């Protein structure tokens, strides 16, 4: 017994002394940093011939524009560059680049192969550490150079930020033209940077709310062909389109399921609307909501287990979530005003929405349980948020107040609410939908 007391006594003394004896290390927490774009230098990719040099200049420019537009990078002024593409391939003079406050350096080379294809290779250097961060090479046909540039930009973005890029993507949207009383709305598609613009419909019918399939082969949208509002499927590769199902009443607000096997949409009946799904293989329709209210704008969670939608079932237009089969309906928006067009983030952590309050429209985000609501953009009329595939950037459209200079333009904004930028389009544009990364 005495021995036990002695042991306990010793342990107790040790317990008292130990914390002070381990005092040798210094621990310092760094919880704040400098939140500003990372300076990156992207000299023209080296090409031995005139043609290769031209491709090298073009690719470097597209890569630079992609990264700068993200708001996370700033391009070091090319006039200050201390080395050209040729000498960079031998060895970058890091000390000289550091003087320009360059943190990352991209060195690339273009070589035309005997079969006519281009070999595009690049290395990303950490200028401070003087170490290569990544290096890749791609082969492509010459007229695909722009896409390779986006792929290079994605690789650089991912290596530095740790997040997937979103530059090798496309936007489908509604191209608008004509006077307000006779507005022509056509389906159009372009690269995310506004290049390679193509109009997909002839303008004979009003087209609204296009949405990309996750498999990239198809778009679903609502159109008024022969003045009958219906949901359609459109194959981008073949140009073939078909009406989705044979319903007596209006179908609208379509969106693909995350696996691309179903389309979820709204069906109008007797002044109300409810949410349905259609299996694209069996063409079987399933009713998800029921009741004498308007439930619309459905969107799946990325895992396909839940659906968010807007409804006036509680007396005003609000956002709800439910299981994919329609159970466990929960209202998640409780702020002032009306809420609509909820879109689940590809990361699954946020839902973007449109809010109308005090005569103004807002684009905002909240968590799927309704907490953490914050507004990212405000306008006379702003609507139609769509997520970049990495869940970091949103695109939407803003309409200016009626007047002589009335316009409808698309904008992108970072999830933090900074870096709002207009997306260049040849005409007025609305209802953007962002594609996944191209396969």
Single residue of 3, 5, 50, 113 touching another protein by CB under 8 A: 5
**Least distance to another protein from the beta carbon of 101, Å?**
9
**Least distance to another protein from the beta carbon of 343, Å?**
18
> If you write DSSP's letter for every residue of 329-347 in order, what string do you get?
-EE---SSSEEEEEEE-TT
**Least distance to another protein from the beta carbon of 388, Å?**
13
Considering only residues 121 to 140 of the shown chain, the ones binding another protein according to CB under 8 A are 126, 128-129, 133
Q: Which is nearer to another protein, 29 or 336 (CB)?
A: 29
**Least distance to another protein from the beta carbon of 224, Å?**
39
Supply the angle between the helices 50-69 and 145-161 in degrees, to the nearest 10.
40
Cα separation, 365 vs 407, in Å, equals: 25
**Least distance to another protein from the beta carbon of 80, Å?**
17
**Least distance to another protein from the beta carbon of 125, Å?**
12
Instruction: Choose among 279, 300, 302, 275: nearest CA to 290.
Output: 275
**Least distance to another protein from the beta carbon of 175, Å?**
31
3-class secondary-structure state, position 25: coil
Cα separation, 50 vs 395, in Å, equals: 38
Instruction: Choose among 108, 10, 105, 99: nearest CA to 57.
Output: 108
Segment interacting with another protein (CB under 8 A) among 14-22, 79-87, 179-187, 232-240: 14-22
Q: Counting contacts by CB under 8 A, is residue 281 touching another protein?
A: no
Give the strand pairing for 170-177 and 184-191: antiparallel
The mark string for 51-80 relative to another protein (x by CB under 8 A, - otherwise) is ---------------------x--------
The mark string for 79-118 relative to another protein (x by CB under 8 A, - otherwise) is -------------------x----x---------------
Query: Residue 275 phi/psi, 5° resolution?
Result: -100, 135
**Least distance to another protein from the beta carbon of 422, Å?**
21
Q: How many CB atoms lie within 10 A of CB 346?
A: 21
Q: Counting contacts by CB under 8 A, is residue 13 touching another protein?
A: yes
**Least distance to another protein from the beta carbon of 370, Å?**
19
Rg (CA), the chain: 27
Q: Which is nearer to another protein, 80 or 129 (CB)?
A: 129
Segment interacting with another protein (CB under 8 A) among 5-13, 45-53, 202-210, 281-289: 5-13
Q: Counting contacts by CB under 8 A, is residue 6 touching another protein?
A: no
Considering only the C-alpha atoms of the chain, give the largest distance between any 2 of them, rounded to a whole number of Å: 100
Q: Which is nearer to another protein, 267 or 343 (CB)?
A: 343
Q: Which is nearer to another protein, 98 or 331 (CB)?
A: 98
Cα separation, 295 vs 274, in Å, equals: 5
Instruction: Choose among 131, 121, 134: nearest CA to 160.
Output: 134
Single residue of 3, 31, 90, 282 touching another protein by CB under 8 A: 31
End-to-end CA distance of the chain: 74
3-class secondary-structure state, position 230: strand
Cβ contact 299:292 at 8 Å: no
Considering only residues 247 to 266 of the shown chain, the ones binding another protein according to CB under 8 A are none
Considering only residues 383 to 422 of the shown chain, the ones binding another protein according to CB under 8 A are 392, 414-416, 418
> If you write DSSP's letter for every residue of 57-71 in order, what string do you get?
HHHHHHHHHHHHHTT
> If you write DSSP's letter for every residue of 353-381 in order, what string do you get?
EEEEETTEEEEEEE-TTS-S-EEEEEESE
**Least distance to another protein from the beta carbon of 36, Å?**
7
Number of residues binding to another protein, judged by CB under 8 A: 41
Q: How many CB atoms lie within 10 A of CB 49?
A: 11
Q: Is 245 left (phi over 0), alpha (psi -120 to 50) or beta?
A: left
Q: Counting contacts by CB under 8 A, is residue 373 touching another protein?
A: no
Q: Which is nearer to another protein, 28 or 180 (CB)?
A: 28
Segment interacting with another protein (CB under 8 A) among 27-35, 192-200, 272-280, 318-326: 27-35
Q: Which is nearer to another protein, 25 or 115 (CB)?
A: 25
Cβ contact 70:164 at 8 Å: no
Considering only residues 185 to 214 of the shown chain, the ones binding another protein according to CB under 8 A are none
Helix (H) or strand (E) holding 94: helix 94-99
Binding positions for another protein, rule: CB under 8 A: 5, 8-9, 12-13, 15-16, 18-20, 23-36, 38, 72, 98, 103, 126, 128-129, 133, 160-163, 392, 414-416, 418
């Amino acid at each position: 017994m005495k021995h036990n007391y002695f042991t306990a006594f010793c342990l107790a003394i040790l317990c008292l002394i130990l914390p002070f004896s381990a005092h040798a290390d210094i621990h310092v927490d760094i919880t704040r940093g400098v939140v500003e774009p990372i300076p990156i230098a992207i000299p023209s990719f080296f090409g031995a011939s005139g043609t290769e040099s031209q491709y090298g200049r073009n690719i470097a420019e597209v890569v630079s524009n992609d990264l700068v537009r993200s708001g996370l990078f700033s391009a070091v002024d090319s006039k200050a560059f201390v080395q050209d593409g040729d000498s960079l391939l031998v060895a970058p003079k890091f000390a000289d680049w550091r003087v320009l406050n360059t943190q990352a350096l991209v060195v690339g080379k273009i070589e035309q192969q005997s079969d006519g294809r281009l070999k595009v290779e690049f290395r990303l250097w950490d200028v401070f550490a003087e170490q290569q961060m990544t290096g890749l090479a791609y082969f492509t046909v010459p007229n695909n150079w722009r896409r390779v540039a986006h792929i290079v930009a994605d690789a650089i973005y991912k290596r530095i930020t740790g997040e997937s890029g979103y530059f090798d993507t496309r936007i489908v949207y509604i191209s608008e033209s004509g006077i307000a009383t006779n507005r022509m709305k056509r389906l159009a598609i372009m690269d995310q940077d506004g290049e390679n613009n193509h109009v997909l419909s002839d303008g004979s019918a009003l087209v609204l709310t296009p949405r990309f399939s996750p498999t990239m082969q198809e778009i679903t949208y609502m159109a008024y062909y022969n003045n009958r509002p219906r949901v359609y499927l459109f194959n981008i590769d073949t140009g073939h389109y078909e009406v989705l199902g044979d319903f007596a009443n209006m179908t609208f607000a379509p969106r693909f399921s995350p696996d691309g096997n179903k389309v979820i949409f709204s069906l109008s009946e007797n002044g109300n609307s409810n949410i349905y799904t259609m299996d694209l293989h069996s063409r079987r329709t399933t009713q998800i909501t029921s009741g004498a209210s308007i439930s619309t704008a459905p969107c799946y969670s990325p895992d396909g287990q839940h659906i968010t939608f807007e409804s006036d079932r509680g007396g005003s237009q609000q956002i709800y979530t439910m299981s994919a089969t329609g159970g466990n309906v929960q209202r998640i928006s409780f702020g002032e005003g009306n809420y609509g067009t909820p879109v689940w983030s590809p990361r699954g952590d946020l839902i973007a929405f449109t809010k109308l309050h005090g005569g103004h429209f807002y684009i905002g985000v909240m968590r799927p349980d309704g907490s953490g609501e914050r507004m990212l953009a405000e306008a006379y009329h702003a609507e139609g948020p769509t997520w970049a595939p990495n869940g970091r950037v949103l695109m939407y459209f803003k309409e200016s107040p009626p007047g002589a200079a009335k316009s409808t333009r698309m904008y992108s904004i970072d999830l933090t609410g900074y870096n709002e930028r207009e997306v260049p389009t040849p005409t007025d544009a609305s209802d953007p939908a962002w594609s996944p990364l191209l396969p």
